[in-house]
């Protein structure tokens, strides 16, 4: 099946949304038997070396997902080469990524673009909203759409 598809989820601080996406998507890909490698990073680097927010940890443990060993990091120069997709959580994250790497619409885009009919133009930041369940619902739907896209792409590979 070739190399795994590598996905980097990107938010501001890399302690709430992007780690939640990283582990939810990894879990969903494994359940589907898809060769997907997930990671996450923040545009700010404010929380470099820290663990994830307890709200995200709680969501993942509710899903039976072990996220121990997670360490927050900032987006790195080699991420563009290392990943097939860099998925931003909101317009600000996308703007930061495009400022850094240029525009690559097929590779760098907002995760909610995968759900054009959802009514969501971004993934709300539970750091501010306090609503980690809402974030989980949106990310689960987005990751499901992403895995559907990856499945199709893999089926079309020679």
Please identify every residue annotated as catalytic: 11, 17, 125
Q: Specify the pairing of strand 108-110 against strand 36-42.
A: unpaired
Structure token digits, residue 116: 């054009």
d(CA 49, CA 13): 11
d(CA 23, CA 153): 22
Tokens 């750091």 locate to 127
Could you tell me the sign of the dihedral formed by the alpha carbons of 69, 141, 41, 12, in that order? negative
Q: Kindly report each contact of residues 58-65 with a partner whose C-beta sits within 8 Å and lies 24 or more positions away, as own/partner.
A: 58/132, 59/20, 59/132, 59/133, 59/135, 59/136, 60/20, 60/23, 60/24, 63/24, 63/27, 65/23, 65/24, 65/27
């Amino acid at each position: 099946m070739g190399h795994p598809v590598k996905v980097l989820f990107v938010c501001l601080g890399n302690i709430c949304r992007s780690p939640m996406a990283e582990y939810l998507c990894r879990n969903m890909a494994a359940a589907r038997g898809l060769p997907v490698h997930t990671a996450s990073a923040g545009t700010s680097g404010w929380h470099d070396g820290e663990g994830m927010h307890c709200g995200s940890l709680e969501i993942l443990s509710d899903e039976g997902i072990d996220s121990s060993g997670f360490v927050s990091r900032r987006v790195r120069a080699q991420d563009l080469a290392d990943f097939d997709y860099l998925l931003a959580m909101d317009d600000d994250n996308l703007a930061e990524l495009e400022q850094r790497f240029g525009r690559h619409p097929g590779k760098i885009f907002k995760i909610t673009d995968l759900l054009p009919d959802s009514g969501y133009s971004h993934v709300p930041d539970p750091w501010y909203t306090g609503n980690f369940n809402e974030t989980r619902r949106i990310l689960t739907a987005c990751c499901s759409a992403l895995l559907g896209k990856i499945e199709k792409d893999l089926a079309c590979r020679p």
